[in-house]
A and B are shown apart, each in its own frame.
Chain A
């Protein structure tokens, strides 16, 4: 960018630097012409008009320089167009930060979209980041990190590992009162200019929400896989009769809780009555789950219990407050259904194994029976 900027004045600079050379050449040629004229007795050479030759030579040089300047101008314009194209089409946000931590006017078009900024030029980075970040600590760490980057003695590679914005969760306020959560990745690098006043920090920002969400899903899937294996072991060890009785009771409690929520009416009194009703229904299941060794089930029940307790402490309730409760209830019902399905498989496997054992026993009894003697 610096090259392009300085390149804009290059044709003029070239002409300016070529001017003394032109003057010198003109003087030299004029001197040569005078000497030639003196050599031939003060008369011009026959057939060679000296002044015309000098003028022609000068014109050729000037034409050459003009062409050269025009070529350079075209190249500079092309470079500018390329730079504009790059900044216009980059998916990542590119921006420059000055020593005062203010954004320069040079930035990619996607930067505004990524950071929800309409006019980033001249804005202080702190003002840009503050509405996006949830906590002040990250913001303070980011500013300290950028100050560190300006330190001439600091090891840039070592500092890079301290970047607190390498993956950060941001929230953009929604005009409707909600907020949009995204994950952004910032990278910063100090760029040295011709003089220290030309130094700047090159910033890059990219939306990595997809990558982060995928990683979180993978992590969750791994945790679920482990808990499924644990659940299977717990179910194998559990008393089948007690387990079925517990699952039946839990299913009834969940359905009753849902029926309580289904009833019409959204006055404060009605909402609070429903809340207490659901708490009571689930309390009974929680007590039963604690008696059985099903950690995953107890955890889920605890989570819904915490939610309901939190809601009961609120002075004013809305129907929307119950949304997390319903979603947890749905998860609990799905979990109970999974437990029942696994338990049924275990029962079938046990029955099949018992049948095989009985078959083996009968075969071994038949083989070990005394052989009857043939009377003939």
Chain B
């Protein structure tokens, strides 16, 4: 299965989340490579680890302000740290679910986790350049990072 198809599945997954759960579509920015440095992570990051025929990680990282507005759009007034973590975890869960559905024959998707700014640094597969896809929603900017070894 081509990298293009795999990354496309993750992009569609995030886009669909915004359309269905938040009910306001997001726009996909121009993807680029994180060359010689790790992609910058925002306040909250949901992580999905992938193993099997391909190893790697898929991240959704968003600033606190964006997540708060997302919760408000979902008629949720609890903007606590735990609740924001849950929201990012839910997005990571959507990514994980779509990966399992589409690539169950190729690789397994491990348990998702959520990290907060200042937690342990992310570890990417060696000698790989993560693909960073900016996700623009209203005036906010999140990122989807896909890093799979070949």
Contact = CB atoms under 8 A, between A and B. Distances in A.
Mostly, the B contact residues are mixed
Contact of B9 (A178, A271, A326): A178
A319 B30 contact: yes
Nearest to A177: B12
B16 A176 contact: yes
B32 A320 contact: no
A210 B32 contact: no
Interface string A196-240: 000000000000011001000000000000000000000000000
By size class, the interface of chain B is 20 to 34
Contacts, number: 70
A167 interface: no
Interface in A163-183: 176-178, 180-181
- Could you say which of B9, B31, B134 has the most chain A C-beta atoms within 10 Å of its C-beta? B31
Contact of B131 (A181, A210, A326): A326
Contact of A319 (B5, B31, B131): B31
B55 to A, nearest CB: 16
B28 A320 contact: yes
A328 to B, nearest CB: 9
Contacts of B5: 181
Contact of B35 (A176, A255, A318): A255
Contacts of A329: 33
A320 B105 CA distance: 26
Interface stretch (A37-45, A83-91, A113-121, A261-269): A261-269
Contacts of A191: none
Interface of A: 176-178, 180-181, 209-210, 213, 255, 258, 261-262, 264, 266, 271, 274, 318-320, 322-324, 326-327, 329-330, 333
List 3 A-B pairs, minimum CB-CB distance, nearest first.
A261-B32, A319-B28, A319-B29
7 contacts: A209-B105, A255-B35, A261-B32, A264-B141, A318-B27, A319-B29, A330-B3
